[in-house]
Structure 1
């Protein structure tokens, strides 16, 4: 398995220098894994849900607090949450009759690492063409 694959799959230290989309081409498996996560994020409802979960004080939120924010049925919200869970973006825990959701920062950190451009040294003042 290449270093790129290990980074995308979270099997490498994120502090290590890692390839990005701009420094190394993705192989087929890595592209498929990333596409699955981006597909989950490609829906406005799922993106809002992820934002609500990630920004919640204390790091988790009850489904009972998510559902009223949308003009969608509870089963539809549950379906969107299931897709976010399957993409590895969130996790859940049942407590009694309610389910609580929390962000899995490792996945968003890996996305950020893959999308980050390598640092470009600044040109000295007065040398621009």
Structure 2
């Protein structure tokens, strides 16, 4: 039996409306928490957080797995496992070109996570 992750219903971030109220302003609904938790969990691993950083900061908006793997002292299959976890969490998209796979960030989900964690410093 395969694990199926629920489809995230992303808010159009170009519509001028915030996608989520920050957790410092209101409690998030259980359904929203359940949908966003896998992304936070995926980023909770140091290697995946580094991979996400490399993918999100790629100069051309995408990066080849051939450029990601040598940056770590891990085997190719281990890196592939971490990338699969990021993909399944909805944080990145992947496209196979020949023998290589290229990864791109999914900015809408990343922006939702960031806006959820946005906390205003008290004025004073």
The TM-score normalised by the length of structure 1 is 0.80
Q: 1:83 aligns with which of 66, 78, 85?
A: 85
Secondary structure (helix, strand or coil) at the match of 2:66 reads: helix
Whole-angstrom distance in 2 between the partners of 1:78 and 1:71: 13
Q: Which runs of 5+ in 2 are unaligned?
A: 1-7
- Number of paired residues? 115
- The farther-off stretch of 12-21 and 42-51 is 12-21
Secondary structure (helix, strand or coil) at the match of 1:92 reads: strand
Deviation at 1:9, TM superposition (A): 3.5
Q: Which residue of 1 aligns with 2:17?
A: 16
Whole-angstrom distance in 2 between the partners of 1:91 and 1:13: 18
Secondary structure (helix, strand or coil) at the match of 2:37 reads: helix
Mapping of residues 16-95 of structure 1, within 5 Å: 16-17=17-18, 18-95=20-97
The TM-score normalised by the length of structure 2 is 0.83
Residues 119 and 70 (structure 1), Cα distance of their counterparts in 2 relative to 1, 3 Å cut? closer
Secondary structure (helix, strand or coil) at the match of 2:69 reads: helix
Runs of 4+ in 1 over 2 A off after TM superposition: 11-15, 117-120
